[in-house]
């Protein structure tokens, strides 16, 4: 087990170093694609806090991604393009919306929770589609300025792809570290307890509703972080970012990657977006192929990419394990 931990840490460090070196060895297209993958990896990890750790399957998580993106875009246009100004305000708006939506959603469970989050998401979609003065309506919110950081006399502008890539990479690493700290804390253990047996936790005195609401808000905030980064990266936000299909896509990322692992949803986001870019450039029926791949994962790899990796590592460990010496002269070895 310690050896496997060392191997995993070595792989993680290698991946981080590869991500840091990526812009210096790859084309602009690859850098742009990986930037988008990192944004959606944050989005998928935020949903995994609900699905994988709390056992709440949300089908409306795109609402918070879209709220963060719209709030960031509008504030950057109307208030200031300074990232340090509109980021906290956009996240505050997202957290407030998550608090309101979560307050009502956690009062039900199972399929009712799923349908209620979907209903709230569609309400947000309707607002985005009809509130033309703020969101641009069906035309979307365009012309969002690139993020800038102004701190005293220091100024940074993220106009080129490499600088934006490192901004997103920094937020991805910080988001992963923060979410990892959450799920490994006492709070995270309570969330897992809610997932496994909420009735027992209530019986021993835990206010499970409060913990679920807190998890819902935290997940919404990190989805908002992804939305803020997406607005600065894409310079455009449309109602499609809060539509039910966007929630379905990130749900697929979590399931394909492996719920309850954080790393799994990030890998799921990488696989889904990479396949989407490759397959869509080759055929118009890319959505059908993506659906078949998803079905294949459901049947052949129920625990996602992380489950497959775990099986491979376990098989390698068994093969590399030294065999016991044979008996000597009919007696077992000392």
Domains and CATH numbers, the chain: 2-318 (1.10.3470)
Whole-model pTM over 0.85? yes
Distance, in Å, from the CA atom of 49 to the CA atom of 259, rounded to the nearest integer, reads 9
**Six-digit token pair at 226?**
């992804």
Each residue's pLDDT tens digit, 23-42:
998 888 899 999 999 999 99
| Inter-axis angle of helices 161-184 and 208-234, nearest 10 | 170
**Six-digit token pair at 86?**
């509109």
141-142 and 236-237 strand pairing:
antiparallel
Listed as ranges, residues in the chain with pLDDT below 70 are: 1-8, 315-334
Check residue 324 and give its pLDDT.
47
Check residue 328 and give its pLDDT.
47
Q: Which alpha helices (H) appear in 26-61, and where do they start and end?
A: 28-48
Each residue's pLDDT tens digit, 252-308:
999 888 888 899 899 999 988 988 888 777 777 777 877 887 888 777 777 778 877
Check residue 150 and give its pLDDT.
86
């Amino acid at each position: 087990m310690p050896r496997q931990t060392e191997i995993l840490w070595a792989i993680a460090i290698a991946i981080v170093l590869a991500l840091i070196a990526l812009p210096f060895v790859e084309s602009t297209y690859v850098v742009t694609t990986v930037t988008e993958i990192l944004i959606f990896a944050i989005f998928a990890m935020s949903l995994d806090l609900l699905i994988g750790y709390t056992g709440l399957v949300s089908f409306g998580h795109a609402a918070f991604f879209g709220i963060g993106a719209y709030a960031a875009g509008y504030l950057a246009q109307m208030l200031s393009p300074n990232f340090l100004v509109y980021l906290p305000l956009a996240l505050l708006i997202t957290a407030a919306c998550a608090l309101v939506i979560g307050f009502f959603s956690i009062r039900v469970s199972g399929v009712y929770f799923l349908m209620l989050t979907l209903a709230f998401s569609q309400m947000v979609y309707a607002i985005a589609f009809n509130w033309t003065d703020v969101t641009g309506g069906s035309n979307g919110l365009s012309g969002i300025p690139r993020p800038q950081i102004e701190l005293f006399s220091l100024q940074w502008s993220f106009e080129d792809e490499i600088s934006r890539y490192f901004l997103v990479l920094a937020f991805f690493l910080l988001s992963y570290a923060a979410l990892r700290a959450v799920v490994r804390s006492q709070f995270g253990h309570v969330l897992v307890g809610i997932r496994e047996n909420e009735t027992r936790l209530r019986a021993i005195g835990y206010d499970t509703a409060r913990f679920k609401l807190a998890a819902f808000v935290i997940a919404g905030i990190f989805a908002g972080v992804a939305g803020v980064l997406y607005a600065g990266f894409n310079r455009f936000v449309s109602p499609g970012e809060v539509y039910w299909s966007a929630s379905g896509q990130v749900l697929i990322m979590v399931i394909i990657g492996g719920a309850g692992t954080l790393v799994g949803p990030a890998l799921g986001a990488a696989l889904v977006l990479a396949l989407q870019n490759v397959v869509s450039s080759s055929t118009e029926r890319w959505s059908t192929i993506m659906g078949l791949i998803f079905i294949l994962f459901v049947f052949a790899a129920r625990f996602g990419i992380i489950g497959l990796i775990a099986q491979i590592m376990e098989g390698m460990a068994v093969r590399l394990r030294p065999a016991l010496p044979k008996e000597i002269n009919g007696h077992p070895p000392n």
